[in-house]
Amino acid sequence: MGSDHINVSQCERSSANLESGRESEETYAIHVLIATEEDGSYSAIVLNLPGTGSCGDTKDEAIANVTEAVKGVLESYKDSGMSIPWKDSRSDETPGDKRWINVHA
Digitized pLDDT (tens) for each residue of the chain, 105 residues in all = 333 333 333 344 433 333 434 456 899 999 999 999 999 999 999 999 999 999 999 999 999 999 999 999 999 999 999 999 999 999 999 999 999 999 999
Stated pTM of the model: 0.77
Given this model, what pLDDT does residue 25 score?
Answer: 83
Given this model, what pLDDT does residue 20 score?
Answer: 36
DSSP assignment letter at 82: P
Structural domain of 46:
5-104
Interstrand relation of 97-104 and 5-6 (parallel, antiparallel or unpaired): unpaired
Number of domains in the chain: 1
Domain with residue 67: its CATH number is: 3.30.160.250
Are 26 and 16 contacting, i.e. CB atoms less than 8 angstroms apart? yes
